Chains A and B, each alone.
Chain A
Amino acid sequence: MAEQKRDVARMVEEGAKTAGLAIAPEYLPNVILNVERSLMIAQPLLELDLEDDLMSAPVFRP
């Protein structure tokens, strides 16, 4: 758990730099908490195996 927390913190700090998003120190703990919460909520999706030929259904029509 502690290792995952460090990983998420590192991901947030490095990802924010890449995205050009300056996260003030006072916002950082809550951003990390929300990424951790997203990881937890996303699990049922991330655990799924999808068929290779499953395509999304975009609305865009040329």
Chain B
Amino acid sequence: MTDPLSKAATATEISGAVMSGKVKAAAVIDATLKRIEAAEPTINAFTDVVAARARQRAAEIDAGLHRGPLLGVPFAVKNLFDIAGLPTRAGSKINVDGPKAERDGALVRKLEAAGAILVGGLNMGEYAYDFTGENAHYGPSRNPHDPMRMSGGSSGGSGAAVAAGEVPLALGSDTNGSIRVPSSLCGLFGLKPTYGRLSRAGSFPFVDSFDHLGPIARSAEDLALSFDAMQGWDSDDPVCTDRPADPTLPRLIEGVDGLRIAIAGDYFAKGGEPEAFEAVATVAKALGATRTVVLPQAAAARAAAYVITAIEGAQLHLPRLRTRPQDFDPDTRERFMAGALLPGAWYVKAQRFRRQYRAHVLKLFEEVDVILAPATPCTAPKLGQTMMTLDGVELAVRANLGIYTQPISFIGLPVAVAPLQRPGGLPIGVQLIAKPYNEQAALRVAAHLQKLGVAAAPPA
């Protein structure tokens, strides 16, 4: 049993210890705040620490005022989630001049209602238009495996904070890969649920068509535990599903029995570095998966996701681009400006194609339950690196770290990331992709890989 006060403790282990009275929530928070203080000069994952609030909440838990499956679990959120009393930075300097949030975002409230304790807001790429974790205003969140390398973005602080053991659980957002890319580069379990499965209310948007929220954690159990606590309809998010909650944690025990697992070929089997494909092969071998399936028109799906992102994101920020261009991060400003000038016809075509691609991919899921694909085309690039060579081709880092994630979030499929630690090397993740609302299948595969020792969080 891991010491619940150590940085290796999972949310499941901490809540178990607090519920059983083995440890006080106050002690968990004290240890967490000390770890944050020690790690931050190097990692730079946090932009805000709400120590007084966390201590107050812990005292209430120790007084028996709160209950729930996440009792006493410290967590932090990407700073595009509203935190009452703080400006919702969304990685920007501009938003700090705006109003402070009057109440917490919907998922923060749900996790706290389940007994968890918010300890702060996390660094991120400006306005989520990022795969690197770099930020000109707040500095980069650094990869704990090598602080000179990228954490991945845009939920870079979420990945860095969990990988460094500052918190066992963090929330991020994923529009084109922003949970999956940092999960891969930092070597963590991550979950991008089905589009509309979790409420986005009380979070700063990026691209309404693809914005998802979800957890990053040290274990598959923790993903399921937190995902289950966050499910449920919310009238404040117009795309939030009214389907009943579908608890996943009780199903992890089923393992992969009855699941048909295949490997994504073609687009997902080229254009990356060998370690990305070796990771998929390792996972496939462990699962006994030999069948290969082809997601048709995946390159067009990635292109369409890129177009929709550029145009919706630019439209959202056009007023600020007109009035405060100098206050943007230079690495996002000119991409937003470019997006504002792309033809509207591209956007409409991309949205029409989205429906066709969805139909083709859903057809595949009549024959398989989970599809394996690389999460990133490479391990963590160096901070400041702008170009990389993939499969012999020189490409921009920012535009291409998400080549394998974009065609999946484009149609809102649920995906878990299973992390592979590579002794002597940097970690890398594998996407476990399921059909809509079938998060349980992806999480069961992740839990099975963890049980086999194939997937694991970084050693403490």
Contacts and interface: CB of A to CB of B under 8 A. Distances in A.
Interface string B347-379: 011111111101000000000000000000000
Interface stretch (B15-23, B116-124, B303-311): B303-311
Interface string B170-212: 0000000000000000000000000010000000000000000
B337 A41 contact: no
Interface string A32-46: 011101100111111
B239 A56 contact: no
Interface size bucket, B side? 35 or more
B115 interface: no
Given A24-B325, A44-B299, A48-B300, A38 B339 contact: yes
Given A12-B341, A37-B399, A45 B310 contact: no
A44 B348 contact: no
B302 interface: yes
A55 B341 contact: no
Interface size bucket, A side? 20 to 34
Contact of A38 (B321, B342, B355, B356): B342
B341 A35 contact: yes
Contact of A45 (B307, B322, B334): B307
Contacts of B90: none
Contacts of B341: 11-12, 15-16, 19, 21, 31, 35
A12 B358 CA distance: 33
B422 interface: no
A33 to B, nearest CB: 8
A48 B355 CA distance: 14
Contacts of B297: 44, 48
Interface in B329-351: 330, 333-335, 337-342, 346, 348-351
Given A54-B355, A54-B356, A31 B300 contact: no
A35 B325 CA distance: 18
A49 to B, nearest CB: 10
Contact of A21 (B238, B318, B349): B318
Nearest to B351: A56
A56 B352 contact: yes
A44 B197 CA distance: 30
B346 A42 contact: yes
Contacts of A43: 303
A22 B322 contact: yes
B354 A57 contact: yes
A45 B239 contact: no
B396 interface: yes
B346 A56 contact: no
A55 B352 contact: yes
A50 B300 contact: no
A35 B303 CA distance: 14
Given A57-B358, A59-B239, A31 B334 contact: yes
21 contacts: A21-B321, A22-B322, A27-B325, A30-B330, A31-B337, A31-B338, A38-B342, A41-B306, A42-B307, A42-B346, A44-B300, A44-B302, A45-B304, A45-B350, A46-B349, A48-B300, A50-B349, A54-B353, A55-B352, A55-B355, A57-B358
Interface pairs A-B: 3 shortest CB-CB: A34-B338, A56-B351, A45-B303
Interface of A: 11-12, 15-16, 19-24, 27, 30-31, 33-35, 37-38, 41-48, 50, 54-60
